[in-house]
């Protein structure tokens, strides 16, 4: 493959990574930005496509960051063509926001024996979407105020059921939260030691993301976690993103203040991203896989799958 073909693909990884690095260098975790005071008044959710389907993986981070930076209150995004099909038009002068699409294509190669074989090559494409706030003429429902968030007590009860349905063993005691692979259990400080119920859920969702790494779940390798600082930092980044995804899905704002043990990973994250322009994409993909696994353990999801 020629340099001309590979350069644009590499530029997408580089451009996005450099933006995230710039935020981290300022001490800002871009995946936490939507939960600042300016945005916490709305309903907590992932970014949504024009049909209401949530975005996933890296696109969640990209659109959360764009919404925060540009002051968009609506979580709904769509392409230029989708806006036209719905009867809308992009306001003059509005710039789109980048989202990405990962896929693979097959290429036929020849091995040392002269035999042809196919191999799959991953690639990344980008395209632009626009927030509803940038579009005029859409049907009224796109401009309607978001449905009120469920009662805080209801949200916490729903979160409790969510984690109970996973079947994870959750123990309480001590002053540290962690996942213990040897005993395959999650250790949490007593509920009363947290600032509020939402903070408890945010930390539990972080540890639940670690819990998914077991071989009988998503099989994410934790063998070097205890002795390799870089591998530990990578796993902690996955758990941070997984916590944000899960909290958004549960309608709960994650922690606004980083835990001291995880704040210490900031320097390691910067080094990882500087050394590997695809690291944040890999972390977002792993976090999405973990969140999807936990959702797949919920009774309603299981019933739908059985009926399909």
- Residue 285, in any domain of the structure: yes
- Report the pLDDT value the prediction gives residue 305, as an integer from 0 to 100: 41
At residue 123, the 3 state secondary structure works out as strand
Residues spanned by the domain of 182: 149-308
- Report the pLDDT value the prediction gives residue 122, as an integer from 0 to 100: 66
pTM of the entire predicted model: 0.84
Closest CA to 204 of 179, 221, 182, 167: 179
Helix residue spans in the chain (DSSP H): 3-25, 58-70, 80-85, 152-166, 197-211, 229-249, 260-263, 266-275, 279-296, 299-307
- Residue 12, in any domain of the structure: no
Maximum alpha-carbon separation in the chain = 68
Q: Which residues contact 108 (CB under 8 A, 6 or more apart)?
A: 116, 117, 118
- Report the pLDDT value the prediction gives residue 258, as an integer from 0 to 100: 60
- Report the pLDDT value the prediction gives residue 301, as an integer from 0 to 100: 53
- Number of Cα atoms under 13 Å in the Cβ half of residue 33: 23
- Report the pLDDT value the prediction gives residue 106, as an integer from 0 to 100: 73
Domain count, the chain: 1
- Residue 200, in any domain of the structure: yes
- Report the pLDDT value the prediction gives residue 6, as an integer from 0 to 100: 43
* CA–CA distance, 215 with 234 (Å, rounded to integer): 18
* CA–CA distance, 187 with 176 (Å, rounded to integer): 7
- Residue 258, in any domain of the structure: yes
Q: Report, in this order, helix, strand and coil percent for the chain, each rounded to 5.
A: 50, 15, 35
Tokens 């353990």 belong to 297
- Report the pLDDT value the prediction gives residue 2, as an integer from 0 to 100: 41
- Name the stretches of the chain with pLDDT < 70: 1-10, 33-43, 103-105, 117, 122-123, 146-154, 254-263, 301-308
Q: Which residues contact 272 (CB under 8 A, 6 or more apart)?
A: 230, 233, 234, 237, 279
- Residue 170, in any domain of the structure: yes
- Residue 253, in any domain of the structure: yes
The terminus-to-terminus CA distance of the chain in angstroms comes to 41
């Amino acid at each position: 493959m020629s340099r001309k073909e590979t350069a644009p693909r590499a530029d997408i990884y580089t451009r996005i990574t450099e933006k995230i690095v710039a935020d981290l260098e300022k001490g800002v975790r871009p995946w936490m930005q939507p939960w600042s005071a300016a945005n916490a008044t709305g309903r907590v959710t992932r970014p949504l496509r024009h049909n209401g389907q949530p975005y996933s993986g890296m696109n969640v981070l990209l659109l959360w960051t764009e919404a925060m930076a540009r002051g968009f209150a609506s979580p709904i995004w769509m392409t230029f063509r989708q806006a036209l099909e719905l009867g809308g038009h992009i306001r003059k002068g509005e710039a789109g926001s980048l989202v990405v699409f990962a896929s693979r294509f097959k290429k036929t190669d020849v091995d040392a024996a002269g035999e042809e074989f196919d191999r799959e090559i991953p690639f990344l494409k980008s395209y632009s979407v626009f927030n509803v706030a940038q579009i005029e003429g859409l049907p009224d429902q796109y401009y309607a105020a978001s449905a009120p968030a469920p009662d805080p007590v209801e949200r916490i009860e729903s979160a409790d059921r969510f984690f109970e349905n996973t079947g994870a063993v959750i123990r309480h005691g001590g002053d540290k939260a962690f996942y213990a692979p040897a005993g395959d259990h999650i250790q949490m400080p007593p509920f009363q030691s947290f600032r509020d119920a939402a903070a408890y859920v945010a930390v539990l969702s972080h540890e639940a993301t670690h819990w998914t790494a077991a071989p009988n779940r998503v099989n994410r390798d934790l063998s070097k976690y205890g002795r390799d600082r870089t591998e530990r930092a990578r796993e902690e980044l996955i758990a941070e993103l997984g916590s944000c995804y899960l909290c958004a899905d549960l309608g709960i704002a994650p922690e606004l203040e980083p835990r001291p043990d995880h704040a210490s990973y900031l320097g390691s994250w910067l080094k990882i991203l500087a050394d590997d322009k695809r690291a944040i994409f890999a972390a977002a993909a792993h976090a999405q896989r973990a969140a999807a696994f936990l959702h797949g353990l919920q009774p309603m999801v299981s019933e739908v799958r059985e009926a399909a």
